[in-house]
Structure 1
Amino acid sequence: MVFLTSPAWIRAAKPDKFWRRRRTFRLSAHYFGRARNCYKTAIIRVEKALSYALVGRQQKKKDMVQLWEQRLEAGCAEHGTSLPVLRQGLMRCNVLLNRKTLADLAIWEPRTFKVRGSQLAME
């Protein structure tokens, strides 16, 4: 197809329009009613769903950090020490472990949180 004038080229349907609509309809394929079939309604519902998904991903990260902290507190309390004491000891010994790894240790290797008498004398 050859366009002799720029207004005719501008008015022609672009393939971008088809693919943009298709992407929206694919994201709304599991919705009910008009939210699935009407483009205007589908756009609103898909944008809302994507914003909820973003919030959910952020909340999941916060929940996991809280869970790791709770597991660490429980692992320390089991052996009669506190989390700040444990972290200070790890820093002194140059042990660089993140919360997730420490929480796994609290579950699978709980004796690693046991403080020995010589370590208490240092504090």
Structure 2
Amino acid sequence: MVFLSIVNYVRARGPDEIWRKRRIFKLAAHYIGRRRNCYSVAVRNVHRALVYATKARKLKKEDMKELWDTRITSACEQHNITRFSLKEGLERANIALDRKSLSDLACWEPRTFECLAAVAKQKLELDGFVDGVDKKHPTGVNLNLKDVMLDAWLKERKN
């Protein structure tokens, strides 16, 4: 478009408006009715949806942390150790595993988690650590490091 005077140039909104509206309409493509076709309605609904999406990303992280903690706690109860004791024992044994890794082990590799719990318990006994933080008394099987070692498992498999 060629403008011979500055007045006509100022009044023309140009291609910027087309692309701005197109971006909003693209985000509103799955809506129904005027929410999809009318720009003034679509822009409100798209902005609201983007706000919800931003909040949901933070909530998803919190939900995952809660799920991982629940899995770790329930696996610890099976092996008669509290979650705090497990974390403290692994930390003292220089085993650095985060929540997600521990929960995956608890779900998909229970034998490995059992060995980690036994190592943590053994390390706490060697250090003379008394768990005074968690007042819960876990109900589960008492672990002994010798019971979950590879040699004992191999002997069991041969018999």
Using the size of structure 1 for normalisation, the TM-score is 0.89
Partner of 1:67: 67
Between the aligned partners of 2:50 and 2:88, the Cα distance in structure 1 is: 41
RMSD of aligned Cα (Å) = 1.7
Q: Deviations over 1:80-116 (max 9, x none)?
A: 0011111111111112211101110111222234326
The gaps in structure 2 that reach 5 residues or longer are 130-159
Partner of 2:125: 121
Q: Deviations over 1:51-82 (max 9, x none)?
A: 11112221111100000000110111110001
Between the aligned partners of 1:47 and 1:90, the Cα distance in structure 2 is: 46
Between the aligned partners of 2:107 and 2:27, the Cα distance in structure 1 is: 39
Between the aligned partners of 2:117 and 2:99, the Cα distance in structure 1 is: 17
Identity of aligned residues (%): 45
Partner of 1:23: 23
SS of 1:115's equivalent?
Answer: helix
Larger deviation, residues 81-90 vs 110-119: 110-119
Higher relative CO (Cα under 8 Å, sequence separation at least 6) belongs to: 2
**Between Structure 1 and Structure 2, whose CA radius of gyration is higher?**
2
Partner of 1:41: 41
Higher helix residue share: 1
